[in-house]
Amino acid sequence: MPPSSPQRSRSRRSLALAALFGLLATLLLYATPADASAALRQHAAARGRFIGTALATGPLASETAYRDLAAAEFNQVTPENALKWDATEPSQGQFSFGGADAIVSFAAQNDQQVHGHTLVWHNQTPGWVQSLGATAMRSAMQNHISQVVGRYASNPAVVSWDVVNEVFDDNGNLRASFWYNTLGQSYIADAFRAARAADPDARLCINDYNTEGINAKSTALYNLVSSLRQQGVPVDCVGFQSHLAIQYGFPGQMQQNLQRFADLGVQVRITELDVRMVMPRDATKDATQATYYRDVVNACLAVTACAGITIWGFTDKYSWVPDTFSGQGAALIYDQSYQRKPAYTAVHDALAGGTVTDTTPPTTPGTPAASGVTVSTATLTWTASTDSGGSGLAGYIVYREQGATDPELGRGTGTSLTLTGLSAATQYQVYVRARDGAGNLSPASATVTFTTATGGGSGGGCSAAGTVQSQWSTGYVVQPVTVTNTGTATINGWTVTFTLPAGHALTGSWNATLTVAGQTVTARSLAYNATLAPGATATFGFQASRPSGDTATPSGYTCAS
């Protein structure tokens, strides 16, 4: 089913015609699909998509290199902060559009479309809004939308808006924000109706994070969009933020997830793509990061209703990641000195990868056999898949069978993979899926079950203890979690498990790889802190969110080696 499109005005229609001629011209100019010298925006346009970046007002005003790359490489921009409520209406009725106007005018000069981010959010909204009673808050929201959207309604560069942002919490329940607590769920429909009234031609989006793959939260979003549209609420588009991290694995079934939303009749788009890593950066992490960028672009390209991809900034010099996730960073496609990273090439080559869309998945891999099982490792071997869809076999992913969401244990390009960082004395049931160059995943192979060896003798070879370093009403930082080798022999790899209280969710971590199953968190050592002599210690840390006012903190730290 095609994406819905709101009524377009005459000016927008002529813009669309101009864009169509531009597209045809671009197709003629770039008939060779993989022209390495062409910019990202030229390849994206040839595929009928946008490739965008978030823009920050500071460097846009002060740095030529920033301006030049933003103009040359992207055909879409999203103001990173300049259109948020704290920037546009810091005091009631006092509007300020300096930063937003600068970005809109830059975009207009460079033939870039602008996506307005964001009208109604629980963050970066001034205290005066949050303290209003229900009637006053609803009318403040409607007035804000009317003023902000209305200001750009006749500007052909501004084509779409994030009307509401992050209305779900990490468990897929409607977030208990001040909006929800004061107005109830109806604020969402009211916000969309106000935006449609302010600009009948703009495309209106709902935007969220951790909704890229098929999971409980994306299913909750899917159900909400479906029900809003059934009620006639003007939701035209769904944005998938896509703040990914190489240590947490690639979202499961991303293309299929985008497609199920598209089948509701909405446009879909990747709105805030970045792929962070635990620092320091190295060539292996860069290469993995590049595959994530490639796979996101390919997932979008494989879905007709996916309009394009916005990267959340383009240079590591200006990224929100290190300020929020201590010890993590390097999430973007240019480094701090504006040099292209492998991720740039991956985005470029995916966008340039020809005009035939491959939607045929590879065949199912053979049942894996497990060998060489140790305390923390196991080697799997299977027979190869084949791919006939055109994009070619790109590799394999090994998953652990665990119920609703199966975590990824590793990926590689050959038909054998050694899994590392496994927990001692633990049964694993695993399967393999093949992946092609367009991101299509094969059906799952049959599973194999193995149990890792027992380590450290009775009582274990290590212990773990966590210290709450700081906390606030809605979250806390645990730093350090200290892991001690309590045995008499050197250990090569440790695994710490602990329990998050109900309603808490992990928001960041450092110095270990953390995975979450239900409320149980498993932290695995990294290469540089895996080896501990008797008596030696290693530390890692993490950050979590919790329901406002809850004072509980994690418990049950247990170490295995």
Chain mean position to CA 312: 10
Q: How far apart are CA 52 and CA 299, in angstroms?
A: 16
Residue 123 or 416: the one with the smaller Cβ distance to ligand G3I is 123
Smallest CA-to-CA distance from 208 within 163, 241, 254, 256 is with 241
User: In this chain, which of 5, 109, 123, 181 binds ligand G3I, going by CB under 6 A?
Assistant: 123
Q: Which structure tokens are listed for 291? A: 């595959």
Which position has the token pair 């020809």?
354
Q: How far apart are CA 63 and CA 60, in angstroms?
A: 6
What lies within 8 Å, CB to CB, of 171 at 6+ separation is: 216, 217, 503, 505
Q: What is the DSSP letter of 31?
A: -
Q: How far apart are CA 11 and CA 217, in angstroms?
A: 38
Q: How far apart are CA 391 and CA 201, in angstroms?
A: 37
Shortest CB 123 distance to ligand G3I, Å: 4
User: In this chain, which of 80, 212, 316, 358 binds ligand G3I, going by CB under 6 A?
Assistant: 80
Residue 240 or 320: the one with the smaller Cβ distance to ligand G3I is 320
Tell me the site size for ligand G3I, rule CB under 6 A. Answer: 8
- Is position 212 annotated as part of the catalytic site? no
Number of Cβ within 10 Å of residue 124's Cβ equals: 12
> Segment 223-242, which members bind ligand G3I (CB under 6 A)?
241
Shortest CB 271 distance to ligand G3I, Å: 8
User: In this chain, which of 75, 81, 215, 485 binds ligand G3I, going by CB under 6 A?
Assistant: 81
- For residue 90, which amino acid is it? P
CA-CA-CA-CA dihedral for 456, 515, 170, 302, to nearest 10: -170
Shortest CB 149 distance to ligand G3I, Å: 17
Residue 224 or 397: the one with the smaller Cβ distance to ligand G3I is 224
Chain mean position to CA 341: 19
Chain mean position to CA 455: 36
Shortest CB 40 distance to ligand G3I, Å: 20
Residue 80 or 236: the one with the smaller Cβ distance to ligand G3I is 80
Q: What is the DSSP string of 300-350?
A: HHTSTTEEEEEES-SBTTS-SHHHHSTTEE--SSB-TTSPBPHHHHHHHHH
3-state secondary structure 160-194: EEEEEECCECCCCCECCCHHHHHHCCHHHHHHHHH
What lies within 8 Å, CB to CB, of 198 at 6+ separation is: 145, 146, 148, 149, 150, 153
Residue 165 or 442: the one with the smaller Cβ distance to ligand G3I is 165
Shortest CB 457 distance to ligand G3I, Å: 45
Contact 179, 38 (CB under 8 A): no
Catalytic-labelled residue, pool 73, 80, 89, 272? 272
Residue nearest to ligand G3I (CB): 320
Shortest CB 122 distance to ligand G3I, Å: 10
3-state secondary structure 467-486: EEEEEECCEEEEEEEEEEEC
Q: What is the DSSP letter of 209?
A: S
Residue 91 or 427: the one with the smaller Cβ distance to ligand G3I is 91
> Segment 317-376, which members bind ligand G3I (CB under 6 A)?
320
Residue 332 or 393: the one with the smaller Cβ distance to ligand G3I is 332
CA-CA-CA-CA dihedral for 330, 246, 509, 208, to nearest 10: 90
Shortest CB 321 distance to ligand G3I, Å: 8
Residue 69 or 83: the one with the smaller Cβ distance to ligand G3I is 83
Contact 299, 258 (CB under 8 A): yes
- Verify binding: residue 509, ligand G3I, rule CB under 6 A: no
Q: With the C-alpha atoms ordered 26, 30, 34, 39, is the resulting torsion angle positive or negative?
A: negative
Residue 241 or 376: the one with the smaller Cβ distance to ligand G3I is 241
Shortest CB 451 distance to ligand G3I, Å: 40
Q: Which structure tokens are listed for 310? A: 């916005």
Shortest CB 118 distance to ligand G3I, Å: 6
> Segment 240-299, which members bind ligand G3I (CB under 6 A)?
241, 272
> Segment 137-166, which members bind ligand G3I (CB under 6 A)?
165
User: In this chain, which of 109, 124, 139, 520 binds ligand G3I, going by CB under 6 A?
Assistant: 124
> Segment 517-556, which members bind ligand G3I (CB under 6 A)?
none
- Is position 401 annotated as part of the catalytic site? no
Residue 212 or 436: the one with the smaller Cβ distance to ligand G3I is 212
Shortest CB 78 distance to ligand G3I, Å: 9
Catalytic-labelled residue, pool 166, 212, 401, 408? 166
Which positions are annotated as active-site residues?
Answer: 166, 272
Q: Which residues bind ligand G3I (CB under 6 A)?
A: 80-81, 123-124, 165, 241, 272, 320
